Each structure stands twice: as structure tokens, then as C-alpha cells.
Amino acid sequence: MDTSFTLPGGFLWGASTSAHQTEGGNTHSDWWAFEHSGLTDRVEEPSGVACDSYHRWPEDMDLLAGLGFTDYRFGIEWARIEPAPGEFDADAVAHYRRMVEGARARGLRPLVTLHHFTHPLWFAERGGWAAKGSEDLFARYVEAAAPVFAEGVDHVCTINEPNMVAVMVTALTTLTGGGTLPEHGMPLPDEATAEALARAHRRAVDSVKSLAPHVRTGWSVANQPCRAEPGGEQRAADYRRTREDVFLEAAHGDDWIGVQAYTRTRIGPAGPLPVPDGAERTLTGWEYAPDALADAVRHTAATVPGTPIVVTENGIATSDDERRVAYTTEALTGLARAMADGVDVRGYFHWSALDNYEWGSFRPTFGLIAVDRDTFVRTPKPSAAWLGAIGRTRSLPTVTP
């Protein structure tokens, strides 16, 4: 029997982007340097001007608001605001402030992300997060960016996927040292980086609260739903704890915690396993697993009880928009059931608003809106209209067995 679940009042209903992946021209960042370094064949192509959203953001917001979304999560770029140590670009701050005001003018509530994977090149060259004083430098940037979020912003994400930031440090160190990465699953997060990120998060929260006490702060974690095969139960628990739980636990006391779920990892007695033969894969090579979202919100609620949850990313890389709708329908069904069971979820943001740069390639298309690579013309997909309409009806699909 088909039924529906009515979203509670004030529920955030939006789509997400990040600065580097949509803006392009982020020439003072470490990722721009990495894309042009030739250090790894994992970069199929550089970001270039990406979706040109640095100039076309009004069009992006017009489309989202017209489709029915009530919220928009976007990032601001540290490397633009502080291109050199202690040198702050007032024009960049004003640019992001205009984005906040533009979102509000269109009826979109902005959720602003302060850090989404990219750093100023100078910060990376001094040793990144593991270097002494990194949390002080991040707090200095947050304070310089305060005019962006001080008014008209109710939610700020300090750091996007800190667990993946720490994993990327391990991965880059391994690759540049001539080593190899695990064939399946992820390497362990770099411990020093993880600890520094937790300190930086706390400093950023304090800075935001001192400058804009009304803002609700949190960070988002890349969730690692695991399916333990026989004999792999302890391995699965250990895998999830080291790559997810320690970062969830660092959110104790926050106003909210961000959940980001796409797929699952199967774990056997010897560790992570390949995607099973015959299983559907997405354009990233991940297993098609829409039930990962329900697993992620339930696990997060159990790990940090009492902390409200915002789904800050969930989606699928596919060229078949009907599969996007099918995936998202099942994911939202699981989300509705979790909420009906009492899990405190305050919002849902789909990844991504646009087909954008996916850290090495434009090939994996996650977007609700297609972007022509030559003309930058935006074309909403049927999934965009379908998902945006939920913002008007405020009803999630559920299916009662």
C-alpha cells in the first residue's frame, strides 16, 4: 500500500553544491595545483571554469527556487577569501555575501559550508591540518568570512566530510611515496589530520557563535554503511568506527550533524570486498544501494543521540535519470520510515544541484540540472521537477510492505 509521510514544519528541503566543483578558476587552492601537477592519473581533466557558477549563481538559484526547493547548500572558498597568509580579499567576501542575499531574495534558505575539501595552497604548503597552529588559521579565516553568514544564514557547516579529508591525506601520501591504495574500501584516515580537524571544528564553532550566536553549527560526515558477510562482523564494526564513528562522536554538543550517504561497503573476514558480480553500479563504480541513507541516519542517531540530523548529501551518479528517481524514491522511503520511528531528521539536501566537477572528472553526473560543457546552458532533468515538487507538497514517499 502506498502512503506518504508529511515533513515537519521548518524542514530543510534543498540541493547541495560545493565552491570548487561549480565555480571554476580557483587558482590559489591546493586542488587547482594538484589538478595540474601530473602526480596522479586519477585526474582525468582539470576543473577549469567548472560550471562557471562563480558568475552564473543567480541562474542556478532561479532554477532551484522555481523547481520548488526551499533551501540551498553552497560553499564559500577559503582560497579566494585568503589567497595569501593573512591577506583577505574583500571582493571575495562581498561576492559570497551577495550569494546569501540572492538566495534569500529567491526564497531559498542558505546553508553555508566553510570548508569543502579545498585549502589555500599556502596552507597546504605549510603542512596542512597536521601542522602546528592550523586550527588558529582556520578560525582566522572563519572570522574574516563572518560578513557572509552573520545575517540571513541559519545553518553553517564548518567542515565537509572531515573523515574524507583525513583519508585523502593518507591516500596522497601513499601515492606520492610510490605505494598502492587498498583494492577495495578506503585507507585509514591520517590520525594527526583527524585530530587537528576536530580541534579546528571546535574553534570554528566558537568563532561562529561569538560572531553570530543565532547560527546553528555542525559538520558533515561521509557515512560508511557496511554489510558484514558471515565472519566479517568485527571487521565491519572496526572499519566503520575508524572511518566514521570517531568523526560522528566529535559532533557531540553541536546543533546538528550532517549525514552524507551514497552506497555501502561489504566486509568479509579479511576486510572490504569488491562489489558483487552482477550488482548494479553507478558511474563512480559504487554499488547501487539506496538503503544506505536509512542505515546512515539510524546509525548516526544511535552514535550521537540527541543531536539533530541534516542529510547534507545523498544522490547517485548516473546518466539515466529514471534510475535517479528510482534511487531517490527508495532512499526517501527509508528516510521517512526512520523519521516515523523517531529519528530526529531536520532536513534533506540532494547531491548535487548541478552536474559538476567530481574531483578529477566531469564524467560522473550527479546533478538534478544538466550543464552543457561548452555553452554552460542549464537544463533541469525530470528528476529535478519531481524532487522539487516535494518541497511544495511536503510529503515524502513511503511504501508500507
pLDDT digits (tens, 9 = 90+) for 26-65: 999 999 999 998 766 778 999 999 999 999 999 999 999 9
* CATH code for position 390: 3.20.20.80
Domain range for residue 359?
A: 2-399
Write down the mean pLDDT value for the chain: 96
d(CA 153, CA 66): 20
What confidence score (pLDDT) does residue 401 get?
A: 37
User: pTM for this one?
Assistant: 0.97
- Which of the four pLDDT bands, split at 50, 70 and 90, describes residue 285? very high
Alpha helices by DSSP H, 77-225: 78-81, 90-105, 121-125, 134-144, 146-149, 162-176, 191-211
Q: Do the bridges between strand 12-16 and strand 71-75 make them parallel or antiparallel, or are there none, so unpaired?
A: parallel
Total domains in the chain come to 1
Contact by Cβ (8 Å): 77, 23 = yes
- The pLDDT value recorded for residue 176 is 82
Q: Which of 162-166, 181-185, 298-302, 312-316 has the lowest mean pLDDT?
A: 181-185
Secondary structure of residue 228 in the 3-state scheme: strand
Cell 557547516 identifies what position? 157
Per-residue DSSP letter, 138: H
Other CB atoms within 10 Å distance of the CB of residue 265: 24
